[in-house]
Structure 1
Amino acid sequence: MSRSLQFAVFGHPIAHSLSPQIHQAFAQQFGIALDYRTIDAAPEAFAGDVQHFFADAAARGANVTLPHKSAAFALAQEHSRAATRAGTANVLTRLADGRLTAHNTDGDALVRDLTDRHGLDLRGHDTLLLGAGGAARAVAWSLFEAGVQTLTIVNRSPEAADALADAIGEPARVHTRYWEDLAGIGSFDLIVNATSAGTLGQALTLPFSLVGSRAVCYDLGYGKAAFGFLAWARAAQALHAYDGLGMLVEQAADAFEVWHGKRPDTEPVYQSLRVHGA
């Protein structure tokens, strides 16, 4: 009797992950039998744990979350365009010859959640991106390519923001500002929080003046990690405030399609997670 295909999500910590639930729900749509588990890998053990996982002939793919996305990119022998631009990977896939290929599906997932699920036309939006780390690098390109009018990147260390803006290479539309100048840089139609403050349990103090009259505020995190930013957005009277649960489901769907060649229906999975308090 053949074993089920093996998949996993690597992170540290990882017990809170919804990925096993999401991938099992997708698999049920197609009658696919798979085993999907969480693997808590400390940073120093990550490379060895990934190699051990993929040494199993039944292992096909893995999702990767904090704090391992940069390390996952470095482990792979092949890289998708999105992963190369971000310098990080959230999906690893074992090829037939045993090599690993890295993908980054975060940016496309964010845009799909904003446009398809929440009905936002990104064209013409003046957008503020908070953060310039791996998460921000993954979504900046996709926001730009989705047609935002301007993209202003603000990070506590300005060098990282400048490097991201330089990489995109469109100075007429992509700008950087200093974090300490946030109160004086005007208002925005779309504000995306790509900092790790919520995940790390740190307060994020932002001026209400950033929020335009019809602004949409979006946190890449979900659940407890997004509470602080979303509370600020509502207090600032943003038109809409969303967490990243939809993005999580969409990036999982992209990974599922890479691994199985089938595109799952994400909406029932998203709604089920919402009903159950995710």
Structure 2
Amino acid sequence: MDKYLVFGNPIAQSKSPLIHQMFAEQTQQDISYSKKQPEEVDFKAEVSAFIIAGGKGANVTAPFKEQAMQMCDQLTDRAASAGAVNTLSFADGNIYGDNTDGVGLVNDLKSHNVQLTNKTILLMGAGGAARGVILPLLAEYPKQIIIVNRTTEKAEQLAARFNDEKICAISYSETAKTTFDVIINATSASLSASLPDLNPACITTNTVCYDMVYGAELSPFLKWCSQHKSQLVIDGLGMLVGQAAESFFIWRKVKPQQSQVLAKLRNKLQGID
């Protein structure tokens, strides 16, 4: 039986073991998947110990994604552009790093029939969550990706990092000047039930609003978007399942079906077994 796990701190809340267990049952893969919560100073030693114990791969969540990248012998383009790794594979004495977050986001948007090609996308946030999805979004040929952040300088630095004419940065006050086809919240605002300083004038009835946070109810941000005309709001649960499915494919070369897993997780969130 091949062994996998997820590293994070905290990690008790992680749904990854349940998701990968369901993927394995569905695809008849003989694997075990557990979770581990090392201290930051012990992360690299714990990964090495897992490899020695025969581990085949691991997912990595906060706060270890940058450390994981530093351990890799080889990175995919999307991991390199993200500056962070959430999927490790161990083979032939090497550590391979990938980042599946952006693919999870893009595939979730597509599953809701959201078109990204030639669309104007507002990406809120300039941290790791935002950085990790830009390359996969660019691969969909949007008209423009506009980054907005509480500290405009950080948004400008992130835009400059990609050196692409389709990417630019603005301040929150400037969001009053235009409307967007898709708005993606990659900030942590919803975790503290606060709202970013987005001007409601930038939302139309056709604006799709997406929050990477998920829960039993809509996040404060998505509720606010609904109140300001948006007719399609989407939380991040599908992104969670999508990034896990991509990790599973990297390890097992089998693409799991996501809708049943997503439905089961949604029911669990809402207290329905």
TM-score, with length taken from structure 2: 0.92
- Check 1:182–1:64 CA distance in 2 against 1; reply closer, same or farther (3 A cut): farther
Match of 1:112 in 2: 107
Determine whether 1:81 maps to 2:77.
yes
Match of 1:93 in 2: 89
Q: Secondary structure at the match of 1:93?
A: strand
Q: Secondary structure at the match of 1:250?
A: helix
Q: Identify which of 44, 56, 76 aligns with 2:53.
A: 56
Task: Give the CA deviation at 1:226.
Answer: 6.4
Alignment of 1:104-183 (within 5 A): 104-115=99-110, 117-171=111-165, 173-179=166-172, 181-183=173-175
Deviations 1:83-115 (A, max 9, x none): 011111110111122x21110111112111111
Q: Secondary structure at the match of 2:205?
A: strand
Identify unmatched segments of 5+ residues in structure 1.
none
2: CA distance, partners of 1:231 / 1:54: 44
Task: Give the CA deviation at 1:163.
Answer: 2.5
**Identical aligned pairs, as a percentage?**
35
Q: Secondary structure at the match of 1:221?
A: coil
Deviations 1:19-78 (A, max 9, x none): 111100110022222221111233233222222222212x11111112221121112111
Q: Identify which of 5, 11, 19 aligns with 1:14.
A: 11
Task: Give the CA deviation at 1:79.
Answer: 0.5
Determine whether 1:203 maps to 2:203.
no
Task: Give the CA deviation at 1:238.
Answer: 1.0
Identify unmatched segments of 5+ residues in structure 2.
none
Q: Secondary structure at the match of 1:124?
A: coil
Match of 1:235 in 2: 227
Comparing 203-212 and 27-36, the one that deviates more: 203-212
2: CA distance, partners of 1:221 / 1:242: 10
Contact 1:219-1:226 within 8 A present in 2 as well: no
Alignment of 1:215-234 (within 5 A): 215-223=207-215, 227-234=219-226
Contact 2:213-2:219 within 8 A present in 1 as well: no
1: CA distance, partners of 2:60 / 2:189: 19
2: CA distance, partners of 1:70 / 1:277: 29
1: CA distance, partners of 2:217 / 2:45: 29
Task: Give the CA deviation at 1:158.
Answer: 2.8
Task: Give the CA deviation at 1:161.
Answer: 1.8
Contact 1:257-1:264 within 8 A present in 2 as well: yes
* RMSD, aligned CA: 1.9
Determine whether 1:244 maps to 2:239.
no
Contact 1:69-1:134 within 8 A present in 2 as well: no
Comparing 239-248 and 31-40, the one that deviates more: 31-40
- Check 1:225–1:6 CA distance in 2 against 1; reply closer, same or farther (3 A cut): farther
2: CA distance, partners of 1:15 / 1:254: 22
Deviations 1:218-254 (A, max 9, x none): 1112227962222222222212111111111111111
Task: Give the CA deviation at 1:82.
Answer: 0.6
Contact 1:70-1:134 within 8 A present in 2 as well: no
1:151 counterpart letter in structure 2: I
Q: Secondary structure at the match of 1:238?
A: coil
Match of 2:32 in 1: 35
1: CA distance, partners of 2:181 / 2:160: 23
Contact 2:189-2:196 within 8 A present in 1 as well: no
Match of 1:68 in 2: 64
Q: Secondary structure at the match of 1:188?
A: coil
